[in-house]
Amino acid sequence: MLGGIYNKQGIVLDEFEMAFTQNDESPDFSRLEPISDLIEFGKSDGRIATVNARFDTWILPFLSVGGYYGKVWGDQTIRLTAPVTIESTTDIDGKYYGINLLAVAPLGPVNIGVDYSWSWTTNVRLDEPVRVEVSGLRIIKRFMTKTPDRFWAVWGGAQFQKLDSKTSGKIDLAEALNLNPDALEDIDQQWEDYKMSPDWEELSFQEKAQAELRWATVRGFLGGLSESTVHYKFNKRLEYNWNMILGFNYQHSQKWQLRAEYGALKSKQQLMLAINYRFGL
């Protein structure tokens, strides 16, 4: 099977840790701990496209086992809402591989399909591959034609996705923030506005002193973008784990099939297209 997938969905980030380094320094995450007292995340989202090749075989009349390998690219937007507002979009460029199980059983006039897959996505900015688990349930109805072995199938169902919660990596600060001198002036003004806001007045003397110290550290590194690297750790989860799916499959012959599937739930959208060739061993 050769296929492609487009996916757009919201991502929730929390328990953020960050460290800055220059040249060959080792990151010291305790230096800015707890950074969550200073930085708050807004809504973040990712948009990715993939192409992949998949091979599977029916080891039993009702059970298929397969593996796949593909390339992924796109972008992810991260938004900071406090104490200053920054929106950063970084490119995604990586590869992924995984295994898949599919079981199909008849139930009256329809078939029930259940699948589960595990995949691992690599990226040069990540310390370790990110594991993604996907499971789906489909109710399938097949419509035969007058031509032998040629039919249409349509289905509806639901899909569940889960990401590894722990993520860590690094990126050049200049690439992550894409800040120019005007943007730095705007950030400085946002910090001054924050210090004049009611939220600042609600902080204790000690909390203000800690915030000032952290801000001075962050702003110092922002001034040397070309030489700084930001190391990060955070927990992440999808804004919506579940989505509904609709799809169809057209079998032209015992060897050739065409498949398409669309999934959506509020801000989450995905589209899959694939062409399938059966060797008929």
**Residue range of the domain that includes 190:** 2-277
Question: For residue 281, what are its two tokens?
Answer: 């061993």
Neighbours of 102 (CB within 10 A): 18
Could you tell me which residue, 93 or 155, shows the higher pLDDT? Answer: 155
What's the predicted TM-score (pTM) here?
0.74
Contact (Cβ atoms closer than 8 angstroms) between residue 44 and residue 10: yes
The least confident of 128-137, 145-154, 213-222 is 213-222
Q: What is the pLDDT of residues 157-196, one digit of tens each?
A: 999 999 877 777 777 666 666 666 677 788 888 889 889 9
Question: For residue 247, what are its two tokens?
Answer: 């799809």
Q: How far apart are CA 166 and CA 176, in angstroms?
A: 20
pLDDT band per the 50, 70, 90 thresholds, residue 216: confident
Q: What is the pLDDT of residues 79-130, one digit of tens each?
A: 777 666 667 777 889 999 999 999 999 999 999 999 999 999 998 777 888 8
Question: For residue 165, what are its two tokens?
Answer: 């919660």
What is the pLDDT, as a whole number, of residue 94? 92
The least confident of 30-34, 186-190, 216-220 is 30-34
Domain count, the chain: 1
Q: What is the pLDDT of residues 15-25, one digit of tens each?
A: 777 777 777 77
**What phi and psi values does residue 21 have, to the nearest 5 degrees?**
-135, 160
Task: Specify the CATH number for the domain of residue 101.
Answer: 2.40.128
Q: How far apart are CA 146 and CA 163, in angstroms?
A: 45
**Mean pLDDT taken over the chain:** 86
